Amino acid sequence: MMEFGIRSAVALWRECLAYAELYPKDDTGNLCALKPSAGARAIETRGYMMQRPHSYVEDAMKRKSEAGQALVFAALALVVLIGFAGLAIDMGALRYQKRLQQTAADGAAIAGATNLSFGGVTSGAQSAATANGFTDNSGGTTCTNNPGTVGCVTVTVNNPPLSGPHTSDSKYVEVLVTAVQPTYFMRVLGTNTETITARAVATNVSGGNGNGCLYTLGAPSSSIEGVSINGNATLNGPSCGIIDNGNFDTKGNALDVSAGTFGIAGDWNKTGQGGTVTCTNTPTSCPTPNMPAASDPLLNRTPALSPPCSPCTGGSTATAANGTFSPGTYSQISVGPGTWNFSAGTYIVTSSAGMTIGANATVTGSGVTFYFTNGATLSMAGTPTVNFTAPSSGQYAGILFYQDPNDTAGPVITGTPSNSYDGVLYFPKANVTFQGNSSIGDVAIVVADALTLSGHPTVNLQGTAGLPPGVSVIANAVLVE
């Protein structure tokens, strides 16, 4: 027993010397200071080494080994977490770029579809993509063939589309905006770039809910206005859209507007509230401010909208009671009390005397177009009964009133609830005024610099539904994919 104790003491002393830094002190001080006697050390060297029941060194080494393993696992977990964080950052950046490319693809498809009727589909689409920050720089190839070239952009325009439900249909335009985007953290995994493609398909259609029925093309100073309103003026167009490039300013008067959609490029009610505005298609955003300004919807019409003569001068003065007018050139048309009919055809009015329709006149005309130039315009007084229908074919199909875009003399239109103007009222540089104290009837489409409602008239806008059957004059490009 004593020999076992001596050998254990000697072994412990030697271990203390080797690993002194690992041993805590006991109540009597440093264990290594308890140096065994020379005899004890001699007994230990005889080889009778026996295992101690418990070793402080073994415990210390075990604790050190476990601490090292935990550190390794923590380091590995940190690497994995950083990898996932980096992947999330890269995916977020790529998704953001995809949204930008999708915006460019949408705009390009709409621009291309808008040009379907008069050419320039590819150039129009690529110009729209450039305006949205993506210019084709692939040199006639595709970025999918150059996956490592960061910044490579391809804008591919297909008419008809090469894929999807509208494949091989020439009424649709497909645009793919492809760009090579860099990665950041994914490079650790050997992925330095990603090729992103956004796709959109649009078509050029007319009719249906949402087609335009009122276009005011003037700057913000030219607004849809309610002027000198006595009571409540009403502008109804629940199945069509209103596009206003100016401000919507009722000047505090009571103007009630009902439309399918209502977009304004300027501000809403800059000088005061007045009336109500409701939209059947976009009830939560009506009107929608700060929209992109619209271009003249008939500017690129096919066939082109052009004057019937150049220059248009001369002509006779037509004024009488009860009778029939024939197409031709007139310096003035004056319609007094009585019943009048305008035969089908084109009527050219060439002087500032213009065309006047007085009170108590009953006027009809089917398949007619009135062209105003040299300061000529339309002026009505009182409550005449007027029912005009535009031609259903030919150069002026759907065009009822057409004013020279160089003229600014604005028409004044009055009437009764039974009046109808089945065609486009085209006064692109003039202020169109609807005036009266009751409904003045139905109007298909108005294109003007500005619109004024005077008194408390009710104007019913029909849109495409108000045109002659089968006639489409304003094409609306819409996204379908």
Q: Region 29-47: what's the mean pLDDT?
A: 46
Q: Please give the pLDDT value at position 206.
A: 42
Number of domains in the chain: 3
Q: Please give the pLDDT value at position 165.
A: 84
Residue 67 inside a domain? The answer is no
Higher pLDDT, 423 or 11: 423
Q: Please give the pLDDT value at position 26.
A: 44
CB 279 within 8 A of CB 260: yes
Task: Give 65-111 pLDDT, tens digit per residue.
Answer: 555 566 767 777 776 777 677 677 778 888 888 889 998 898 888 87
Of 153, 188, 205, the residue that ends a domain is 205
Q: What residues are paired with 255 via a beta bridge?
A: 233
Say yes or no to pLDDT of 272 above 50: yes
328 and 404 both lie in a single domain: yes
434 and 370 both lie in a single domain: yes
Of 205, 226, 243, the residue that ends a domain is 205
Average pLDDT for the chain: 77
Nearest to 237 by CA among 256, 218, 265: 256
**Secondary structure class of 424 (helix, strand, coil):** strand
Contacts of residue 55, Cβ cutoff 8 Å, sequence gap at least 6? 15
110 and 45 both lie in a single domain: no
Residue 465 inside a domain? The answer is yes
d(CA 266, CA 257): 17
Whole-Å CA distances, 330 to 327, 341, 425, 457, 478: 9, 16, 20, 31, 42
184 and 290 both lie in a single domain: no
123 and 49 both lie in a single domain: no
272 and 191 both lie in a single domain: no
Say yes or no to pLDDT of 176 above 80: yes
Find the helix packing angle between 56-114 and 121-131, rounded to 10°. Answer: 140
Q: Region 339-364: what's the mean pLDDT?
A: 93
Residue 356 inside a domain? The answer is yes
Residue 199 inside a domain? The answer is yes
CB 314 within 8 A of CB 331: yes
Asked if omega into 457 is within 30° of 0 (cis), the reply is no
pTM exceeding the 0.85 threshold for the entire prediction: no
Highest mean pLDDT among 21-25, 335-339, 385-389: 385-389
142 and 197 both lie in a single domain: yes
Q: Quick one: CA dihedral 183, 187, 191, 193, positive or negative? A: positive
Its domain, for residue 38, covers 2-54
Residue 332 inside a domain? The answer is yes
Return the amino acid letter for 233.
A
195 and 151 both lie in a single domain: yes
Q: Region 358-381: what's the mean pLDDT?
A: 94
44 and 119 both lie in a single domain: no
Per DSSP (E only), the strands in 66-188 are 153-158, 172-182
CB 303 within 8 A of CB 391: no
Q: Please give the pLDDT value at position 475.
A: 65
Of 158, 185, 205, the residue that ends a domain is 205
325 and 463 both lie in a single domain: yes
Asked if omega into 160 is within 30° of 0 (cis), the reply is yes
End-to-end CA distance of the chain: 94
Residue 422 inside a domain? The answer is yes
87 and 115 both lie in a single domain: yes
Q: Please give the pLDDT value at position 456.
A: 83
Residue 478 inside a domain? The answer is no
324 and 434 both lie in a single domain: yes
Residue 388 inside a domain? The answer is yes
Indicate the range of 91-100, 200-209, 243-252, 412-421 predicted with least confidence. 200-209
Say yes or no to pLDDT of 356 above 50: yes
Q: CA-CA-CA-CA torsion for 410, 359, 462, 370, nearest 10 degrees?
A: -50
CB 467 within 8 A of CB 241: no
